[in-house]
Amino acid sequence: MSPRGSDDSVSYGCRASMHNAAIPPESYGKALGDTPGAACVWGVGHIGYNTLIRLAEVGIAGRGLDIDAQRVEAVNDGRIPFSGGVEWLGEEAVTLSRTGSISATTPDDRTAYETALVHFVSVPTELDGQPWLEALERVTGQILDTCGPHRVTPPLIIVESTLVPGITDRVVLTAARDRGLAQGVHVLVAGSLGSGGGGPLGLVIRRSVWRPNAGRSWA
């Protein structure tokens, strides 16, 4: 029985969310810390690598996924994968990079992400100064193709990329619906702290993952 009893369908704005999920949406942040291999970060650039460092800081070993093989190699060598990284992330990040708790691979290695619990998406959303959604659409498709009724616990997708309000829902939730996947049942989707997204459930998720949780905070 959930702590919120039979009102879950109302609280989360989605039908049956609690009945298929082994982890309540508000507990994903804690599960992230408690489950080895739970965190994937798509794009190991400025935002994505910063997320990996923030996770490492609280003892969570995240896996980066990037189409840039040189960046992947740098991460696995314990180096910050872009220039100016020390100024951007601070000296402490250099130490954390070398602990061996951060790894990366390319997205063609589906086994690296197909069972992940939380996907932080930090791919570019601009090209030549214009909004550009191809990378987000591609990554979203790759993650959603790991979802479905066979998964007891729906994976969580948090879009950290910069998007104007409404785009997370338009891109990610539409792609989920096109695959017959329902928010809160087969997948959980939330936008960033800044841009929102995912409806009432997205808010529950953002609070779960980004606020101090079980003594951990990396916001």
Ligand X SMILES: NC(=O)c1ccc[n+]([C@@H]2O[C@H](COP(=O)([O-])OP(=O)(O)OC[C@H]3O[C@@H](n4cnc5c(N)ncnc54)[C@H](O)[C@@H]3O)[C@@H](O)[C@H]2O)c1
Binding region for ligand X (CB under 6 A): 42-48, 65-68, 71, 82, 107, 122-126, 135, 138-139, 161-162
- Cβ proximity to ligand X: between 40 and 185 the closer is 40
Q: Taking the complex as a whole, how short is the minimal distance between the CB of residue 190 and ligand X, in angstroms?
A: 15
Q: In whole angstroms, give the CA distance from residue 42 to residue 67.
A: 9
Closest residue (Cβ) to ligand X? 45
H-type helices in the chain, by residue range?
8-11, 17-20, 28-34, 46-57, 69-76, 85-89, 91-97, 134-144, 167-168, 174-178, 199-210
- What span, in angstroms and rounded, lies between the C-alpha atoms of 54 and 138? 25
What's the closest the beta carbon of residue 139 comes to ligand X, in angstroms?
5
Q: Are strands 118-121 and 156-159 parallel, antiparallel or unpaired?
A: parallel
Rounded least distance, CB 50 to ligand X, Å: 8
Task: Provide the phi-psi class of 128: left if phi over 0, else alpha when psi is between -120 and 50, else beta.
Answer: left
Which one, 125 or 183, has the nearer CB to ligand X?
A: 125
CA pseudo-torsion sign 18, 21, 22, 25: negative
Specify the residue, 126 or 178, whose C-beta has the smaller distance to ligand X: 126
In the complex, the smallest distance separating the C-beta of residue 34 from ligand X, rounded to whole angstroms, is: 26
Residue 178 tokens, joined: 């096109």
Nearer Cβ to ligand X, position 117 or 139? Answer: 139
Nearer to ligand X, 13 or 82 (CB): 82
Instruction: Measure the CA–CA gap between 65 and 113, rounded to whole angstroms.
Output: 8
Minimal distance in Å, beta carbon 103 to ligand X? 15
